Amino acid sequence: MSKAARFDYGWVVVGAGALMTCVGFGTMLSLAVFLQPISDAMGWSRAGVSAAATLDFLCMGFAAFAWGALSDRFGTRIVVLAGSLLLGLGLVTASYAQTLWQFQLCFGVLIGIAAGSFYAPMMALASAWIDKHRSLAVALVSAGMGVSPVTVAPSASWLITAYDWRFAMLVIGIAAWALLIPASFLVRPAPQGTNVAIPAGASAPQTEWTVAQALRTPQFITLALAHFACCAAHSGPIFHMVSYAMVCGIAPLTAVTVYSLAGFSGLGGRLLLGVLADRLGAKPVLVGGLLVQALSIATYLAVAQLGEFYALSVVFGLAYGGVMPLYAVLVREFFGARIMGTVFGAVSAFASLGMALGPWAGGYVFDTFHGYTWLHAGSFAIGLAAVAVALSFSTKRRPSLDLGRAAA
């Protein structure tokens, strides 16, 4: 296969990955739209329904490490195909749930495990296929997460309004099967033995890491903690964005557009920060994006009008969406391609733990204080912590010292 052919098909893989992250994360995050209708129809507390999202992220986190290791060993196609089947199953069975624990099991556990099969394996595969524009490629795979609020969420909202939450969830589950199963067969392993271009300012891996060595380096720990704090900061404000807008007097369908605009802006942020990272390096762009994210979260304490929500959604979306792919770029640059699926899966596991905090915390805060002030204040503080941790990440490789510590 020629280099041009490899390059061209690499973008097909990127497109398939973007579709998978869009549907996978879109269905999971659509619980923000389902939250109030399910609570009203079933009499379940918001904290109880939100706990399904917490389970989603917990299960996705543990599953991401396993899926990443499986993709390194057996290939990405079988991993994403299994995830596609499981995702649809979780949605369809959740639509028939009669008790809260049944809903939490189907929507929280099954969908969480399924969603973990897409992100880390497809990010690793995209970085292996694309050499010159690696930051842009992983940004495009991650961009599916940004597209989901303007596709899955409005579709769910329309179906709920026209029918009910059960029918909406059933239709989305069947659609997930119809889209993702064929897309799984577009996934191919990257050609072996290619010359990999190293982005400007990045140092090539000077040694072949083992997984055990990689997971014990300060660089892995720093990236994992930064990703955890980053996601812990933005997950609550994102998940409860629709509910908060409604608390401020905005109509339900209009409140969904606030959420959708943030997601659409996140798509632009992924592309913008991906291009900037190719030019300036991933670390400085990551730190800047995390700072903007923290300041945006703090601004939620002062907004109440629709126009203010729209303006903030644009800035917040650019920041939280743009930083997400950069962790994969840093993992790829520091640890190399051979074990990237496993290592980035482990980093993503920490991120999922952070994502798990927000939905539950927001539901608890609302049920306790009948408002979201403490959610946004706490998220702002965690966002500043993410900036501090990311600043401490060292891109300078010292193989003899790192390996000596890992072996100790």
**Domain limits of the chain?**
3-186+204-407
Residue 28: closest CA among 160, 125, 144, 198: 144
Residue corresponding to tokens 């769910």: 156
Residue 325: closest CA among 302, 292, 357, 348: 348
Instruction: Calculate ∠ Cα 307-53-373, nearest 5°.
Output: 45
Alpha-carbon span 179 to 207, nearest angstrom: 40
- The amino acid at residue 256 is V
- The amino acid at residue 285 is V
Joined tokens for residue 27: 């269905």
**For position 404, what pLDDT does the model report?**
43
**For position 395, what pLDDT does the model report?**
67
**For position 407, what pLDDT does the model report?**
41
User: 57: burial class by Cβ within 10 Å (0-12, 13-18, 19+)?
Assistant: buried
Per-residue three-class SS string for the chain: CCHHHHHHHHHHHHHHHHHHHHHHHHHHHCHHHHHHHHHHHHCCCHHHHHHHHHHHHHHHHHHHHHHHHHHHHHCHHHHHHHHHHHHHHHHHHHCCCCCHHHHHHHHHHHHHHHHCCCHHHHHHHHHHHCCCCHHHHHHHHHHHHHHHHHCHHHHHHHHHHHCCHHHHHHHHHHHHHHHHHHHHCCCCCCCCCCCCCCCCCCCCCCCCCCHHHHCCCHHHHHHHHHHHHHHHHHHHHHHCHHHHHHHCCCCHHHHHHHHHHHHHHHHHHHHHHHHHHHHHCHHHHHHHHHHHHHHHHHHCCCCCCHHHHHHHHHHHHHHHHHHCCHHHHHHHHHHCCCCHHHHHHHHHHHHHHHHHHHHHHHHHHHHHHCCCHHHHHHHHHHHHHHHHHHHCCCCCCCHHHHHHHHHC
Alpha-carbon span 94 to 27, nearest angstrom: 12
Determine contact, residues 271/136, Cβ cutoff 8 Å: yes
CA 357 to the chain's CA centroid: 14
Q: What number of other Cβ atoms are within 10 A of residue 248's Cβ?
A: 16
Determine contact, residues 26/151, Cβ cutoff 8 Å: yes
**For position 71, what pLDDT does the model report?**
85
Residues with Cβ < 8 Å from 193, sequence gap 6 or more? none
**For position 20, what pLDDT does the model report?**
92
**pTM of the predicted model, to two decimals?**
0.71
**For position 259, what pLDDT does the model report?**
80
- List per-block mean pLDDT (blocks of 10 residues) for the chain, which spans 408 residues: 55 89 86 85 84 84 83 88 95 93 92 88 83 76 72 85 91 94 90 50 56 87 94 90 87 83 83 84 92 95 90 92 87 80 83 80 84 92 95 67 42
Alpha-carbon span 13 to 16, nearest angstrom: 5
Alpha-carbon span 123 to 113, nearest angstrom: 17
Residues with Cβ < 8 Å from 272, sequence gap 6 or more? 318, 322
Fold exhibited by the domain 3-186+204-407:
Growth Hormone; Chain: A; (1.20.1250)
Residues with Cβ < 8 Å from 350, sequence gap 6 or more? 61, 224, 225, 227, 228
